[in-house]
């Protein structure tokens, strides 16, 4: 049995990092959350984002799901929820939901503190106490079946579909075989390959939901009277040899491996552990997509790139895998795994095993390139309710 050493949380989940998360409830508290994290030092991680103080209900619910899910992620040992004080999202309610997982959670209101200077002072004090509290947790033995492994791609080119994605897919198969959960997302990048995924669904409900979600995403293009060309594939994808969304999708889905699709969950919805391959319905924007899966509980992410993406995440380590030999050479500082050896004849199984071994080492505490460089992009997907409503109508 493959094992690693992680941080056991009170609810039984296992973290591979021991962060104190500083979660702003809106953009107005985001700069301050970042400031507190920087001043509090190593171990504190802020999740600044762009969402406003008032959001329409579906958008607000999704933001709440992301904040609660991020706070509940097992890599988080304790959390501070920060608000300006005017947000429609209630910081206390978010804190309560996070603390159900048994971890210490505090709240901070900038207005009630008397402005930013006293708020930073109080926030630093709160985070220092939370850092002290999480320090008492020690790494202990855990099983690979307790891992939720998220996979993502960004800055794709032709090497993604022939080398990096199938190699990461091989690692996904190994996670599933070990009894864990693997998850990939980015619904627009199922377009043209959805029939293959549909055939792999274990039940009719999952199959119907998957096809419905793909149709909704495609109908957004119809709704706006535009076509995907130009944006999907992006100009960079096209320069890298990808001609159509179908070609991009057929390459993209190989990063999920070859096992059955057990379910498709909503953006930032909890990903069940020990569940095999599960999809998440997210946009194609990679930062928002990673954030959705980490809010769903993924402890670790593998991110494939052909052209060279550098993005990370504040809560989950991101393992960068490239299949492009030039990107490996030029951007080796930002890359963790060279999958371009596949093009030279190395087997997908060999590189897949290397990715799986790296995944276990990272779970054990080994830091990734994006962690060492503190690349911690965070963005929440904003629902445009009118658009969604209309796209569903067209879908009928």
Please select the residue that binds another protein; options are 250, 264, 265, 277, rule is CB under 8 A. Answer: 250
SS3 263: strand
User: Cβ distance 173 to 348 under 8 Å?
Assistant: no
What does the block give as tokens for 185?
Answer: 């997302």
Shortest distance in whole angstroms from residue 377 CB to another protein? 26
Whole-angstrom CA distances from 127 to 124, 133, 166, 234, 308 are 5, 10, 41, 41, 35
Q: Which is nearer to another protein, 123 or 352 (CB)?
A: 352
User: Cβ distance 348 to 356 under 8 Å?
Assistant: no
225 binds another protein (CB under 8 A): yes
Q: Which is nearer to another protein, 135 or 222 (CB)?
A: 222
- Binding span for another protein by CB under 8 A among 16-24, 221-229, 280-288, 378-386: 221-229
What does the block give as tokens for 37?
Answer: 């994290």
Please select the residue that binds another protein; options are 159, 181, 187, 381, rule is CB under 8 A. Answer: 159
Hey, how many other C-beta atoms are within 10 angstroms of the C-beta on 280? 24
- Binding span for another protein by CB under 8 A among 112-120, 162-170, 289-297, 360-368: 162-170
C-alpha 190/C-alpha 213 separation (Å) is 10
158 binds another protein (CB under 8 A): yes
229 binds another protein (CB under 8 A): yes
31 binds another protein (CB under 8 A): no
188 binds another protein (CB under 8 A): yes
C-alpha 348/C-alpha 342 separation (Å) is 6
Hey, how many other C-beta atoms are within 10 angstroms of the C-beta on 104? 18
- Binding span for another protein by CB under 8 A among 142-150, 233-241, 255-263, 368-376: 233-241
161 binds another protein (CB under 8 A): yes
Burial (0-12, 13-18, 19+ Cβ within 10 Å), 228: middle
Q: Which is nearer to another protein, 63 or 391 (CB)?
A: 391
C-alpha 362/C-alpha 64 separation (Å) is 29
Shortest distance in whole angstroms from residue 238 CB to another protein? 6
User: Cβ distance 24 to 36 under 8 Å?
Assistant: no
226 binds another protein (CB under 8 A): yes
163 binds another protein (CB under 8 A): yes
228 binds another protein (CB under 8 A): yes
User: Cβ distance 75 to 18 under 8 Å?
Assistant: yes
Q: Which is nearer to another protein, 111 or 229 (CB)?
A: 229
C-alpha 38/C-alpha 41 separation (Å) is 6
Residues that bind another protein (CB under 8 A): 157-159, 161-163, 166, 188, 191-193, 196, 218-219, 221-229, 232, 238, 240-241, 243-247, 250-251, 306, 324, 326, 342-343, 345, 348, 393-394, 396
């Amino acid at each position: 049995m493959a094992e690693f050493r992680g941080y056991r949380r009170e609810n039984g989940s296992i973290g591979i990092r021991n962060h104190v998360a500083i979660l702003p409830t809106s953009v107005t508290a985001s700069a301050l959350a970042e400031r507190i994290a920087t001043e509090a030092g190593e171990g504190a991680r802020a999740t600044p984002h762009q969402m406003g103080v008032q959001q329409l209900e579906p958008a607000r619910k999704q933001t709440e799901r992301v904040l609660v899910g991020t706070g509940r992620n097992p890599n988080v040992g304790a959390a501070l929820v920060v608000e300006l004080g005017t947000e429609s999202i209630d910081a206390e309610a978010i804190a309560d939901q996070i603390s159900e997982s048994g971890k210490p959670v505090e709240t901070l209101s900038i207005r009630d503190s008397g402005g930013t200077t006293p708020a930073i002072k109080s926030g630093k004090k709160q985070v220092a106490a939370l850092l002290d509290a999480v320090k008492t947790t020690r790494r202990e033995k855990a099983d690979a079946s307790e891992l939720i492994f998220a996979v993502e791609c960004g800055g794709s080119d032709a090497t993604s579909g022939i080398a990096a994605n199938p190699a990461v897919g091989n690692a996904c198969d190994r996670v599933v075989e070990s009894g864990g959960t693997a998850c990939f997302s980015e619904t627009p990048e199922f377009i043209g390959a959805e029939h293959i995924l549909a055939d792999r669904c274990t039940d009719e409900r999952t199959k119907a939901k998957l096809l419905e979600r793909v149709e909704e995403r495609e109908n957004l293009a119809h709704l706006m009277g535009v076509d995907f060309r130009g944006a999907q594939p992006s100009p960079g994808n096209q320069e890298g040899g990808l001609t159509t969304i179908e070609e991009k999708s057929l390459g993209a889905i190989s990063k999920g491996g070859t096992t059955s699709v057990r379910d498709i969950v909503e953006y930032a919805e909890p990903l069940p552990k020990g569940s095999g391959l599960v999809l998440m319905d997210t946009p194609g924007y990679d930062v928002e997509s990673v954030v959705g899966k980490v809010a769903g509980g993924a402890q670790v992410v593998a991110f494939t790139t052909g052209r060279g993406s550098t993005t990370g995440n504040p809560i989950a380590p991101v393992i960068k895998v490239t299949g492009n030999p030039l990107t490996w050479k030029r951007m080796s500082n930002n890359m963790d795994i060279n999958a371009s050896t596949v093009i030279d004849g190395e087997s997908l199984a060999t590189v897949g095993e290397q990715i799986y071994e790296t995944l276990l080492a990272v779970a054990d505490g080994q830091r990734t390139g994006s962690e060492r460089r503190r690349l911690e992009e965070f963005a929440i997907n904003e629902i445009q309710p009118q658009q969604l409503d209309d796209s569903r109508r067209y879908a009928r």
